[in-house]
Amino acid sequence: MNEEKAASEQPSDGLWAFYEGQFHATPIPLENKKYDHVTWFGEIGLPDYGQAFDRVLRGRLTWDWQYEHYVLSFYGTPILPNRVYSMVNRALNPRNLRVVEKPAADEWL
C-alpha cells in the first residue's frame, strides 16, 4: 500500500494535444515509456498520420530527475500559447512543480 502511495506522489510523464479547440491529455503508462502520439491519437480518434497529424499542436511533459523539474516539449508552434501551457499544467502537473519549456525535436513526438 505504501508503495502505491509513493508511486502516485512521484512526478509522471504525459502526452497532450490541442486540436480543433479541444484539449486532450494522458499520462504515459509506467510500463510503456515508448507510448507515443501516433498510438494515443489512434486510440482517441485524432489524426494519427499525414498532414492532419502535422497540424495538431502536441507535446510531452517529461520529468527530469537530475534537475528535478518538468520539461515541456511541444511541436506545431514556435511559442506555446499561455492558455495551452495552463491546460497542460492543470492536467499533467497537479502539484505545480517547476516547468521548463523547450520546442521539441521530431524524435520526441
CB atoms within 10 A of CB 17: 24
The string of pLDDT tens digits covering residues 26-65 is 999 888 888 999 999 999 999 999 999 999 999 999 999 9
pTM: 0.85
- Show the cell assigned to 3: 508503495
CATH code, domain with 93: 3.40.20
Range of the structural domain that residue 45 is part of: 2-108
pLDDT for residue 33:
83
Backbone angles phi, psi at 34, to 5 degrees: -90, 5
Total count of domains within the chain: 1
Q: How many helices (H) and strands (E) does the chain have?
A: 4, 5
What phi-psi label fits residue 101: left (phi over 0), alpha (psi between -120 and 50 degrees) or beta?
beta
Rounded Cα–Cα distance for residues 96 and 93 (Å): 5
For the CA atoms of 64, 70, 71, 76, what is the dihedral angle to 10 degrees?
150
